[in-house]
Structure 1
Amino acid sequence: MRKCRAARHFKGIKVFQHHRKGEKGWKEFDAIEEEGLLDEEGGYKGIPRRCYLLAFIVGFFVLFTFFALILWGAIRNQKPIVTVKSWLLYASRPINLSYDVSTITSSVFSGIIRITVLPEPKFEAVLDRFSSCYPISGDAVFTKPFCLEYKWDKRGWGDLLMLAHPLHLHLLWSTDCSVTILGDFKYNSIDGEVKEESYSVIIEALVKDVDALNSSTISTTSSYFYGKLIARAARFALIAEEVCYPEVIPAIRQFLKDMIEPWMDGTFGANGFLYDPKWGGIVTKQGSLDPGADFGFGIYNDHHYHLGYFIYGIAVLAKIDAAWGRKYRPQAYVAMNFAIPVVPSGKTRQQVAPVHFGMRIIL
């Protein structure tokens, strides 16, 4: 039977072995020192557990106080806003709802459910009046020059109640007698309407952005990113009109001219719009050479983005400079024609091919 004995405290342990006669014995070796872990005679015992607990509690309160002070500093100048809204639910057939604190349930239901927020209690009667009619699809219709009509396919009975942007309301009010405008019934965005006392802040930022406009520093030749710069500057002009600060409009007008005219005249050497007679559409110079250039513009991808930015800038520039608009009207109409999916009735793309817009025909 083999035996081993070791020093009690595992300090410099020596292991011995008794063996049979003629058997080679194992060599003595030093084991790992573990003194202190099993020391029972007053050696070092480490930090007591209660000290760890005390350190944890103190650390927790220090961190809690630190983050509480950060949060307090962040919100101390802000007043909490509590908004309570009423929501109305309209169903096409009777529905039984049951609810608890967090859940609303119902039995099996098949039909139409419409949910709306009630902006003010006085408008509940208006919503009730139009609750039986709802749209299932919509379309933008171009039936005559300078006219855009929205058509909806609807179900139910009665008149259809739809929302419109302020610009649409202004146009509808003066041109469409078949539409009734509910003047005082409106929904505000999350930020609400811009108040005149905020104009000074907007003007300050506007002046800074307009001062930074410089067409000579533009390095991009991509129709997409170039178009975005045009649309951005055009937006500045409309913001200036909205906040009644026309002083920046001359600088914006010049920037738009310098940016747009090379594409209109076909003198923008690094890129340009070309007419593709095979498919009857517009491609870019870079896109005609590389399918991946201009985000696939040469293979008819995302035309509404690229041309949309240019058309937006052209429209704004024509608004603030009528003479320029008359000069480049043919190019503007060509761009608009090829940005929409349908050509005028009875014509083909080839019949409305761009003879302007500074385009060259590719074969």
Structure 2
Amino acid sequence: MVMNLLRSLVLIIVLCKAVCIDVLVPLSTNVPDRTLYPHVIHPRQPKRLNLPILSPLHTNKFYSNAILGDYGNNPLLTHPYVISMSKDSPHGVSISLTEEWSYGPQIDSTRVKYFINRIVKNIQMSALEFLSQQFEVNNVDEPGFACTIKMFQLNSSASITLPLVRGMAYVTFEFVSATPRISTIHYILSVNGRTSGHITGKRFEIVLNNNQTWLLYSLGSEITLEFSGNQLLGTEPVTNVLRLAKKQTESSANAVLDAQVGVYPIACQLQAHVTESQGSYMFKWRLKGNLSRTLLHFTFPHHRQIISLVDGQITNVQAMSASKGLMIGYLGNIWTLTESSLSTMHFLAPRSPAIQYRDLIVAQLKKDLEVRVDLTVSDYYFTGKEFHKYALLCLLAEYYREIAEFNRCMRTLKDGFEVLITRKNANALRYDTTWFGLVSSAGLGQNQELNDFGNSYYNDHHYHWGYFIQAGAIIAHLDPNYVPKIRDWVEGLIRDASNPSPLDTSFPQFRYFDWFSGHSWSQGLFESADGKDQESTSEEINFHYGIALWGLATKSSNIEGLGRLMLGTAKRSTQTYFLMNNDNTAMPKEFIANKVTGIFFENKAEYTTWFGTNPEYIHGIQMIPCTPITEEIRLAKFVEEEWMTILSKIVHNAVPEWKSLLYMNYAIINRHEAFAQLTNVPLDNGVSRTWALYWAATRPSTNDSNGTVSTTKPDLSTVSTTNTASGYTSTMIASVLIQLLLAIIASKPPAMLI
């Protein structure tokens, strides 16, 4: 029996090796062609940056605040800790972990407008040698999980280096010839039970008068601290590693903190593979310190739904994140996260439109294609929506075999791309040699930062490019012979926003997508007191969907797999943090009744948009554009809750153009009524009436009669991976196979199982 199992395992591994696809391979390693993208130097230069080698710079990661602005003292959110560089004395770094949210005004009896994490300088770490604020970012990792900040004093050998890593369980300080100086805005009640004098040791319990106790560890030799007013001062310069963590309530959790303190992360390497139906990504943490210990690192709620419990284990160490709910410590040097049910890519809906609607849709298609369309590129957002809208009409013209209309549509769409490729538009793209990316030329002049929606400063590229990538994919699908004409331009957009490989040194790896957070971030080269933000989850989804469709159309399994895996990851985070079911357990209960987050910052969430506070804006921006992938994100259960709670009450008085989005969304639960409304409701500028009707007609017929939603089969891929007695064996075997498989693909031995 054992031999049979081994033979089966070998067969599975051989088969999996044949079908598993590494999605982190470069699309290209060529420097962007100057004839396609003239090269420019960006007007906003990074500050306080001292990297060992010239490499692509991230613009949308958690540490951007450190290299922007005059002082770089806006917060860096590692979760759960908030790190701020101190401009004023004591000229070091402050650490906040309040685990308290403040709530905005009541919208009604069940809802608040926002929640925000309170940032308080609970503990400050500095050195007696520091007489002013001096720091630099001297290292970053490729996928944007980590950066290293070095604090120093000019004309002195004293320095403190901080490796800042998303999810770090402790804050780490590498001292070199520097004398520790620990302070707080609170009052220090005691240290190891002492209230004065000198305290010597390698572990210190610092009790504050705000009901917090902080643990300070020395990884090297003992150090001596002395009380000095409301500070703790070292008695001599040290070259040592000190680590801070907030003390836990449970003694067993503190025992875990004590046991694992010796090893710490400095960076992360990303690996990712897909098969036909599932995908896995791995975080391989780069470690320093006592490598015989196992890394303790915090997980977000969405991690715990899919993380392997074979090559690591969940602990009872806990902390509240700034905006994504409870974080729980995980023991494991390698994280393996598996999406067990990736989407299958289709250009059109997975079901045919109901036959009774065919004549209306075809008549509307002919009418829409009679209208003269202008694809002149004025800005990359609204023009992208026009390209996408028109490409969908071409797709439907081909589907309904309307040949004359199809040919006319394709000519118009190709003419539009010709303008982009030949740079005949006034805001033609440039390749920026400062931040290694593609930017609109509209905002590169003095005081033009906000032109083109901040595109020139790396704001929202994943929203903008998604429309063009998907339009390009539709052309490639309908006319494969045209691919060579547009490949470099379309894949340039993918490389800019979502370059999968550090081997492509012309762009940073995953400029927008944060694999640790599970979704993308906007903001670009703008400082923010609450960190990066994400507004339109649906337009992020559209970007990943577009990448997958481009891969499908061009027969690139790597690109298609990349889009599918990012899509699966973003789907999970969207349904965990952004589209909130009534039974959501990650977000504050006072906020869940809003159903959508509005603008989701790293440090807060606010029920609003950047362009207005109307409810139809707040909900509609999470709906555009409606494509075949939308139904996998906006599930019927959520749509019914959102409709009954909020949208049914505001739809009649909504701004007319936004009604089209609300009714397209409503079609998920009431096809018949939504279709009737969409025949004459005013339209959003990114939607044709033909596509709106086709979308409604391809919804399941669930609600045509009674307006209720049938029971939705649960998505097993979202179920927690906490093992039950009955499921443990199969889960263990599956996880071992995944680990062996990934190790074989990487040509490295599997990590030791914990």
TM normalised by structure 1 equals 0.44
- Higher-strand-fraction structure: 2
- Higher-helix-fraction structure: 1
TM normalised by structure 2 equals 0.22
